[in-house]
Amino acid sequence: MRRELYDADHEAFRSVVAEFVEREVTPHLARWDEQRLIDRETWLAAGRQGILGLAAPEEYGGGGGTDYRFRAVLLEELAKVHATSLASSFSLQDDIAIPYIREIGTDEQKRRWLPAMAAGELIGAIAMTEPGTGSDLKGIRTAARQVPGGWVVNGAKTFITNGIQSDLVITVARTDPDGGAAGFSLLVVERDMPGFSRGRKLDKVGLHAQDTAELVYEDVFVPDENVLGRIGGGFGQLREMLPLERLSIAVHALAVSEAILADTIGYVRDRHAFGQRLADFQNTQFELAEMQTEVSIGRVFVDRAILALNAGELTEVDAAMAKWWGADLQNRVVDRCLQLHGGYGFMLEYPVGRAYQDARIQRIFGGANEIMKQIIGRSIVGRP
């Protein structure tokens, strides 16, 4: 089936990305996994190459942020070399941190932060999850108390992507203990603010090169000029921005599924057992046929969601559908491809083994898939 999502400009950008990946990414993947951290220089190189900060407006040194297809190209090229941790880290920057500042930041905040973020000089993160809260954001306990000139923040966050290297952390804090859903706000905490510290760099099942950390806030003074959006508007702002994050997960899921399936097709063509190629067994062909069909169907839906986002028409429900279906599909495809590899699939020297580790989180972050189904279900039958 012919894919018609991209035009000549996107394919020209793909060539730029492919050259960057060959030069700056592929040679370092194993070392990044070993050191559990992506080199800071890689962020700067991506900024120089113009493949970071795609979501930032052009006047702030970014790519304009109006056509998500360029971001999709980047995710696809990173998936081809199985640079999953880098793809996730860059997505946090371009699909979450920068869009928050672009959409709800003041002009002064945009001037202060966006050019350096687009250049890879400032790395962003968002701190929502806390020990004991998970998807239950209304259970957030990190509190901000108003004082002259700003807010004093106390609390802790966990599972924070880019947590170790981040320079700006968009922090969800309770600014009104009696405000209910309107009692939360977004505060931008900067790296060197007194009382702000990093806890452990977390040891995860997968995404080993992506730094994920605990964050600690002990009487951190955050000035009023670092309030992002309006006080009390935190939940509404999060809800408005989450569809983009969830679409990003879906785009990455389809890209990884396609890459692992392509690897597996090559493997079964070359591998022999019982006197014939693995590809010649009926079971292998049935497995490949089912996976290729499911991936093709998923690709149509996700491509349509990308165009809807570009047109300003992507709904919360469609983003939830794309996220849960894409994440589940990725896990199914990777699992079945690993089975076709046999014992070699369980070896981390093969991409499918590493993909198996990395895929599992897709069903959890960005809102667990169960939450996605609840969003979809409530759109059908209404809230209780």
Helices 282-310 and 234-270 meet at what angle, rounded to 10?
A: 150
One DSSP character per residue, 295-326 reads HHHHHHHHHHHHHHHHTT---HHHHHHHHHHH
| Contact status, residue 217 vs residue 194, Cβ threshold 8 Å | no
**Cβ neighbours of residue 310 closer than 8 Å, sequence gap 6 or more:** 66, 67, 68, 69
Which residues partner with 127 through β-bridges?
171
Helices 316-341 and 282-310 meet at what angle, rounded to 10?
A: 160
Phi, psi of 382 (to 5 degrees): 90, 165
- Strand ranges, E, within the chain: 124-127, 143-147, 150-161, 168-174, 184-190, 196-201, 212-223, 227-228, 272-273, 276-277
The one catalytic residue in 41, 245, 258, 349 is 245
What is the distance, to the nearest Å, from the Cα of residue 92 to the centroid of all Cα atoms in its chain?
5
Phi, psi of 380 (to 5 degrees): -90, -50
Distance CA 135, CA 363 (A): 12
What is the distance, to the nearest Å, from the Cα of residue 322 to the centroid of all Cα atoms in its chain?
14
| Contact status, residue 90 vs residue 70, Cβ threshold 8 Å | no
Run of H or E including 236: helix 234-270
Q: Of 278, 273, 264, give the one whose Cα is nearest residue 332.
A: 264
245 is annotated as an active-site residue: yes
152 DSSP assignment: E
9 DSSP assignment: H
The number of beta carbons lying within 10 Å of the beta carbon of residue 5 is: 15
Give the active site residues: 245
